[in-house]
């Protein structure tokens, strides 16, 4: 599409009357929360999920305090008389199915696996909100960060394993795998044929012996699920590992902050390469 034509379309979209845009938008998904806050006018936002205010999971927790919250129940959603509901692929099916049956306009967002899918989803939500210009600006921001990250790529790729609470790891076909690659790391779980999320026994982790172990930053509330990443065996691996602690909020949902995760991982990769 010629640049002048695209620019004209964006100008027309920005000038569209507010009445043409949905005015009562409810989000029942954490990642949709953040897209909604980035793209919509504040007066378009009727409600966000309660997770939007969780600073360990949301990058816009402070901004979310300006809006009512919900727990994804259909009766809560209908209280706002929404003209658009943003949901996720794995949002409570009972809620989304009921909302559709009674005629509510529901936009279900899939989980993006690549930067290109992230950008496509931003444009999709921007179009649904009547905020195409803001969507394009966010896409340009992400594309600029991606290109900057690719400029720093090196041929030597240390190995890495994601190790999350309860021993979960992340394999191929995931955005996190894409970000690992962008960081100059080789995902051992993906190399072993693992797809998306799966369990990795501690014994298997020791056998793999990655150059970099990627963990999440600890939450304030202790939990048994996180104890596995503190197991003493991890300090007695066959060879030393770099530990990269990535706050979950940086890559639980796709957005500009995922490149902060890339920066953390890239530093760990550089330290691993520097080892004798």
Residues 197 and 124 in one domain: no
Percent of the chain whose predicted confidence (pLDDT) is above 90: 68
Stretch 133-145: mean pLDDT? 97
CB 30 within 8 A of CB 90: no
In this structure, the answer to whether residues 182 and 247 fall within a common structural domain is yes
Q: Strand pairing of 106-109 and 84-88? A: parallel
Asked whether residue 154 is domain-assigned, the answer is no
Residue 12 lies in a domain: no
Q: Do the domain assignments include residue 13?
A: no
Same structural domain for residues 75 and 139?
yes
> Is pLDDT at 26 greater than 80 in this prediction?
yes
CB 121 within 8 A of CB 160: no
Q: Locate 87 and state its tokens.
A: 């949901």
Beta-sheet pairing, 84-88 with 168-170: unpaired
Statement to judge: residues 24 and 71 lie in one domain: yes
The answer on 127 and 33 residing in a single domain is: yes
Are residues 126 and 47 located together in one domain of the fold?
Answer: yes
- C-alpha distances in angstroms, 103 versus 19, 84, 97, 107? 20, 11, 10, 12
Same domain for 216 and 165, yes or no, is: yes
In tens, the pLDDT along 182-239 reads 999 999 999 988 888 888 888 888 888 899 999 887 655 444 445 555 666 666 666 7
Supply the pTM of this predicted model.
0.85
As a whole number, mean pLDDT of residues 43-62 equals 97
Same domain, 30 and 140: yes
Same structural domain, 173 and 258: yes
CATH of the domain at 59: 3.40.50.1980
Q: Is residue 14 part of a domain?
A: no
Give residue 166's domain range: 159-274
How many structural domains does the chain have? 2
The pLDDT tens digits of the residues spanning 258-272 come to: 999 999 999 999 999
pLDDT band for 273, please (50, 70, 90 cuts).
very high
Any domain includes 256: yes
Instruction: Looking at the structure, tell me whether residues 98 and 177 fall in a common domain.
Output: no
CA distances from 268 to 28, 184, 196, 240 (A): 35, 10, 22, 13
| Domain finish residue from 94, 114, 146 | 146
> Are 138 and 41 found together in one domain?
yes
pLDDT at 88 over 90: yes
Residues 127 and 200 in one domain: no
- Residue 203 CA from chain centroid, whole number: 29
């Amino acid at each position: 599409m010629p640049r002048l034509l695209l620019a004209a379309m964006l100008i027309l979209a920005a000038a569209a009357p507010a009445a043409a845009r949905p005015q009562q938008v409810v989000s029942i998904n954490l990642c949709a929360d953040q897209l909604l806050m980035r793209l919509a006018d504040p007066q378009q936002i009727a409600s966000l999920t309660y997770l939007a205010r969780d600073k360990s999971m949301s990058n816009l927790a402070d901004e979310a305090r300006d809006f009512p919250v919900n727990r994804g129940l259909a009766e809560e959603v209908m209280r706002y008389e929404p003209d658009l509901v943003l949901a996720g692929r794995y949002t409570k099916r009972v809620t989304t199915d009921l909302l559709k049956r009674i005629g509510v306009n529901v936009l279900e967002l899939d989980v993006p696996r690549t930067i290109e899918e992230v950008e496509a989803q931003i444009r999709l939500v921007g179009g649904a909100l009547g905020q195409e210009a803001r969507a394009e600006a966010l896409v340009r921001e992400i594309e600029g960060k991606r290109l900057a990250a690719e400029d720093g790529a090196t041929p030597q790729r240390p190995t890495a394993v994601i190790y999350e609470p309860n021993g979960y790891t992340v394999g191929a076909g995931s955005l996190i795998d894409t970000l690992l690659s962008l960081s100059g790391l080789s995902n051992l779980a993906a190399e072993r044929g693992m797809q998306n999320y799966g369990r990795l026994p501690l014994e298997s982790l020791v056998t793999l012996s990655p150059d970099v172990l990627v963990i999440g930053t600890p939450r304030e509330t202790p939990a048994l699920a996180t104890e596995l990443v503190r197991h003493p065996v991890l300090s007695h691996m066959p060879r030393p590992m770099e530990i990269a602690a990535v706050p979950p909020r940086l890559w639980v949902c796709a957005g500009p902050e995922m490149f902060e995760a890339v920066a953390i991982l890239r530093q760990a990769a550089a330290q691993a390469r520097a080892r004798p």
